[in-house]
Amino acid sequence: MSGANKHEIHTEAELEQKLIEIVERNNWLQEAFGAANHLLDEYYIGAGAVNQAVWNEISGFPPQHGIGDMDIVYFNDGDLTEEGEKSIEMKLQSMLHAFPFKIDVKNEARVHLWYEKKFGYAIQPYTSLEAAIDTWPTTATAIGIRKDEKGTYRVYAPYGLGDMFGMIVRANKVQITKAIYEAKAVKWKGRWPTLTVIPWEG
């Protein structure tokens, strides 16, 4: 049993190192880390901008292929205003104005204030950035990464990195609905045809 556990930890560590190597070569992500470090103490760049960069690397596509936006998330429960969130987003957009895709900034502390209106059902307030990422719609996209000014990376991947590197789309049913999951899966499969999509019931 202990040998199996060591092997799993080693494998996950290797995948994290592989992720960091891919991120190091991605100019868009490196610029975004630099900008975010100027404005935010704790943040993650997450979801599509990360996992799709990996899919592009594996598939031999250009780094920006299929990426609709770059999600930068932070947590400030001392300012739940939309204005505060928009101010940070506008500053980051200005710093990253040459990007070929949208910069989408969210204060995860205030997601519960608008979630029901957008998705049709209410959620409880998140208690941290990590708690928010725990609910993201698939195991491959439930990931956040940041790089501090000293060049140290922090990766948060509550469901591991295996599905992301295996190009497997699997529902994380903590919060999303079947309809949301299936719409995302169809969209992604069209952009990355070699993806393996696990049915909602799977």
- pLDDT, averaged per 10 consecutive residues of the chain (202 residues), comes to 42 95 95 96 94 96 93 97 98 93 96 94 96 97 96 97 97 95 97 97 82
* pLDDT for res 10: 56
Would residue 11 count as lying in a domain?
Answer: yes
* pLDDT for res 11: 87
- In this structure, how many other beta carbons lie within 10 angstroms of the beta carbon of residue 25? 11
* pLDDT for res 4: 40
Cα 170 to chain center, whole Å? 15
Would residue 37 count as lying in a domain?
Answer: yes
Would residue 191 count as lying in a domain?
Answer: yes
Would residue 202 count as lying in a domain?
Answer: no
* pLDDT for res 90: 97
Would residue 112 count as lying in a domain?
Answer: yes
The structure tokens listed for 176 are 């999303």
* pLDDT for res 202: 73
* pLDDT for res 6: 40
Q: What domain count does the chain have?
A: 1
Would residue 147 count as lying in a domain?
Answer: yes
User: The tokens 């400030």 sit on which residue?
Assistant: 76
Rounded to whole angstroms, the Cα distance separating 60 from 56 reads: 6
Using one digit for the tens of pLDDT, what is the confidence trace for 1-27?
333 444 444 589 999 999 999 999 999
pTM for the model stands at 0.91
Residue-range definition of the domain harbouring residue 25:
2-197
- Which residues contact residue 71 at a Cβ distance below 8 angstroms, ignoring those fewer than 6 apart? 45, 46, 47, 48, 49, 104, 106
Would residue 50 count as lying in a domain?
Answer: yes
C-alpha count within 13 angstroms, C-beta hemisphere, residue 117: 4
Would residue 149 count as lying in a domain?
Answer: yes
Question: Is the separation of the CB atoms in 172 and 136 below 8 Å?
Answer: yes
